[in-house]
């Protein structure tokens, strides 16, 4: 099959945009030309000549010779305007903007259908890991039972520094910002929203369930305190921010983003620094593990490059699972085993638990170990002074246990008295 030549209009020339520019020039076999780059600021010093740039988006959108738009800007609202206009003009689009795609997923599906124009976004989820293409193609006929992973490089870097070097959270966060892994306002990462947007994309391609971001229960790492960290260290665990989706016994899907204790037996235990790791479990292939750099200019640019290469063969997502299954969400009754910590008496939350294994009330930090439903957890975390770390997901049957705990040791049930 003859490869198509791509004339690219690029929006954004930050770290990833420049990284893509460099990567394309080192990939001579790919017949691509960046014809014009749209940026916001005029006169800014840039490493390539000024004639490559424009401030007018219509210099790209109205140019019939440009057949691919690559969108790499930070503003999700502006990105949606650019992407939707490009699709309406029949141009293929590559985007790395997970927030924009997640917030407008249904609209973008419809635009692709109406205007017969593809939108690819491998770079929007896990950077260098080709997870979306694998979910879309490799698992087309295999029945996925669960997908879980570390999908945010910034949080993983922060938590890795805390555990490997015993750093304070604020120092680890400052390091992540200095390395370019976290923004000056890191709340999108540390609050869990970035992972939530990525999980939405994974669920759509894995299970054919289209969600809104607000449907996904999300708890970030910004509440984690000394009691949880000490517990993890005593047991030999690490804490990771894990995004997870599980097919229930009735074929409904449960999903959430929650900090989780990870044992050394888990494949996610050794995923440190800015790396991402994703575990899939299927009916036939059983457990598979993907790992790769999840943040940074070149890993993200490599994913954009992969999408561009696919477009030279007129590739597009077929969204096969959306047409194969009638998936429904079922989150409220999912049972979770958690460690709840706080600086005050936690007994007023006891009624939210199905069962309690251990409690301790102290002046320097109280805790509760117990099991509760996700709907009760949603009520619990409305109190901003408490912190929750997931211990286990209670399973419905042996088949589900295989999916949920594939290669993962069940965590201990008793908090060390020396805490």
The residues spanned by each domain of the chain are: 6-120, 131-293, 335-394
What is the model's pLDDT at position 177? Answer: 87
For residue 398, give every residue at least 6 positions away whose Cβ sits within 8 Å of its Cβ, in sequence order, or none. none
pLDDT reported for residue 364: 73
Q: Which of 105, 112, 108 is nearest to 91 (CA)?
A: 112
Task: State residue 53's pLDDT score.
Answer: 95
Q: What confidence score (pLDDT) does residue 219 get?
A: 97
Examine the residue annotation and report whether 198 is marked as an active-site residue of this protein.
Answer: yes
pLDDT confidence of residue 355: 96
Region of 236 please: left (phi>0), alpha (psi -120 to 50) or beta: left
Please give the model's pTM, rounded to 2 decimal places.
0.92
The architecture CATH gives domain 335-394: 2-Layer Sandwich (3.30)
- As a three-state string, the secondary structure of the chain is CCCCCEEEEEECCCHHHHHHHHHHHCCCCCCEEEEEEECCCCCCCCCCCHHHEECCCHHHHCCCCCCEEEECCCCHHHHHHHHHHHHHCCCEEEECCHHHHHHCHHHHHHHHHHHCCCEECHHHCCCCCCHHHHHHHHCCCCCEEEEEEECCHHHHHHHHHHHHHCCCHHHHHHHHHHCCCCCCCCHHHHCCHHHHHHHHHHHHHHHCCCCCHHHCEECCCCCCCHHHHHHHHHHCCEEEEEEEEEECCCCCEEEEEEEEEECCCCCCCCCCCCEEEEEEEECCCEEEEEEEECCCHHHHHHHHHHHHHHHCCCCCCCCHHHHHCCCCECCCCCEEEEEEEECCCCHHHHHHCCEEEEEECCCCCEEEEEEEEHHHHHHHCCCCCCEEEEEEECCCCHHHHHHHCCCCCCCCCCCCCCC
Q: For position 349, what pLDDT does the model report?
A: 95
Contact 350, 372 (CB under 8 A): no
The predicted pLDDT at position 395 comes to: 58
Identical topology for domains 6-120 and 335-394: no
pLDDT at res. 116: 97
Tell the CATH topology of 6-120. Rossmann fold (3.40.50)
Residue ranges of the chain whose pLDDT lies below 50: 397-419
Joined together, the tokens standing for residue 392 give 């286990």
- The residue to which tokens 């003859």 are assigned: 2
The residue from 198, 238, 240, 293 that is catalytic is: 198
Residue 168: count other Cβ atoms within 10 Å of its Cβ.
Answer: 11
User: The CATH number of 131-293 is which of 3.90.660.10, 1.25.40.10, 3.40.50.620, 3.30.360.10?
Assistant: 3.30.360.10
């Amino acid at each position: 099959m003859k490869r198509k030549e791509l004339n690219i209009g690029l929006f954004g020339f930050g770290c990833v945009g420049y990284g893509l520019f460099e990567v394309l020039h080192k990939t001579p076999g790919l017949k691509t030309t960046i014809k014009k780059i749209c940026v916001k600021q005029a006169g800014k010093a840039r490493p390539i000549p000024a004639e490559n740039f424009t401030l007018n988006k219509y210099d790209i959108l109205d140019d019939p010779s440009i057949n691919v738009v690559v969108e790499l800007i930070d503003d999700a609202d502006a990105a949606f305007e650019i992407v939707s206009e490009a699709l309406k003009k029949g141009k293929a689009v590559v985007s790395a903007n997970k927030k924009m795609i997640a917030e407008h997923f249904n609209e973008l599906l419809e635009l692709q259908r109406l205007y017969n124009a593809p939108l690819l976004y491998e770079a929007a989820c896990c950077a260098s890991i080709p997870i979306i293409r694998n979910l879309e193609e490799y698992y087309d006929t295999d029945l996925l039972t669960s997908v879980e992973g570390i999908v945010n490089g910034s949080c993983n870097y922060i938590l890795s520094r805390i555990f490997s070097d015993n750093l304070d959270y604020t120092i680890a966060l400052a390091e992540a910002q200095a390395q370019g892994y976290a923004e000056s306002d890191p709340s999108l990462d540390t609050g869990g929203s970035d992972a939530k947007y990525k999980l939405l994309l994974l669920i759509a391609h894995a299970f054919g369930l289209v969600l809104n971001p607000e449907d996904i229960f999300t708890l970030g790492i910004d509440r984690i305190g000394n009691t949880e960290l000490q517990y993890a260290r005593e047991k030999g665990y690490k804490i990771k921010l894990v995004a997870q989706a599980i097919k229930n016994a009735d074929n409904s899907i449960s999903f959430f983003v929650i900090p989780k204790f990870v044992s050394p037996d888990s494949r996610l235990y050794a995923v440190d620094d800015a790396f991402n790791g994703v575990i899939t479990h299927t009916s036939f292939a059983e457990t598979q593990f993907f790992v790769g750099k999840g943040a940074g200019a070149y890993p993200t640019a490599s994913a954009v490059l992969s999408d561009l290469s696919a477009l030279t063969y007129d590739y597009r997502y077929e969204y096969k699972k959306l047409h194969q299954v009638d998936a429904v969400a079922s989150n409220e009754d999912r049972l979770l085993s958690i460690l709840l910590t706080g600086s005050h008496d936690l007994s007023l939350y006891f009624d939210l638990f199905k069962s309690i294994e251990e409690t301790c009330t102290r002046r320097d930090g109280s805790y509760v170990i117990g099991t509760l439903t996700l709907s009760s957890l949603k009520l619990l975390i409305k109190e901003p002074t408490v912190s929750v770390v997931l211990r286990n997901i209670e399973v419905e049957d042996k088949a589900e246990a295989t999916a949920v705990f594939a290669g993962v040791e069940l965590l201990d049930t008793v908090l060390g008295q020396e805490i």
